[in-house]
Amino acid sequence: MSKSVILAAGEKINPLVPHTAELIVGAIAFTLLFLVLRSKVVPMFEKAFTARTEAIQGGMERAEKAQLEAQRALVQYNEQLAKAREEAQTLREEARVQGSAIVEELRAKAQEEAARITAAAHASIEAERQQAVTSLRNEVGTLAVELASKIVGEALEDQARQSRIVDRFLDDLEKSKK
């Protein structure tokens, strides 16, 4: 149908009647656009969407993993700490035992030494005493002889004299000692 004819006639055109050319073009254009969008656009957008979802999920998973690892590390650290404490405790115990053993040993040694020194002192005292006794005995003998000769020489008359002599002797003794 030629449009110029219609317009010249001044008729009203029914707008609800489709044109064959437009129907064909509409169908072709729509199909074309559909094919382009389906093959080129939708897959690309979907890929980006999937990648985005995965990126978010992956990030969350990574965070979760990191947290888990941190927790594991904490547990391990605590374990190690406890072990170290225990070890320190054992070491201290051992040191104390060893220390007391050393002290004990030293004490025993000191006692032994003391005993030895005491024994030596005793021995030397004994020797000196022995010497003193010996020299005393000699002196007493001499004195006795001296005294006896004096007593005999004086010719002891009475009791009073006797005691006087003895006193004198002792005084002499005292004096000579000085």
Partner 1 sequence: MRSLVVLSAEGEGFVPPSSNDFELPPIFGDNVFTTKPIFLVFLSVILVSVFFILSSRKASIVPSKFQFAGESIYAFVRNDLARDVIGHDFMRFVPYLFTLFTFILTNNIFGIVPFLQFPTMSRVSFPYVLAASVYLVFHYVGIRKQGAWKYFKEIMFMPGVPKAAYILITPLELLTFLLVRPLTLSLRLFANMFAGHLLLLVFILGGEHLLQGVIGLKLISPFAFFIGIVLTFFEFMVQCLQAYIFTLLAALYIAGALADEH
Residues that bind partner 1 (CB under 8 A): 2-4, 6-7, 12-23, 25-27, 29-30, 32-34, 36-38, 40-42, 44-49, 51-52, 55
How near is the Cβ of 67 to partner 1 at its closest, in Å? 23
How near is the Cβ of 76 to partner 1 at its closest, in Å? 36
How near is the Cβ of 85 to partner 1 at its closest, in Å? 49
What's the first-to-final CA gap in the chain, in angstroms? 178
| Pick 2 or 176: Cβ nearer partner 1 | 2
How near is the Cβ of 8 to partner 1 at its closest, in Å? 10
Task: Check if the beta carbon of residue 74 is closer than 8 Å to that of residue 81.
Answer: no
Tell which residue, 33, 6, 32, 34, has the closest CA to residue 19: 6
| Pick 34 or 77: Cβ nearer partner 1 | 34
Exposed, middle or buried, 173 (CB in 10 Å: 0-12/13-18/19+)?
middle
| Pick 45 or 77: Cβ nearer partner 1 | 45
Residues 6+ apart with CB under 8 A from 165: 150, 151, 154, 156
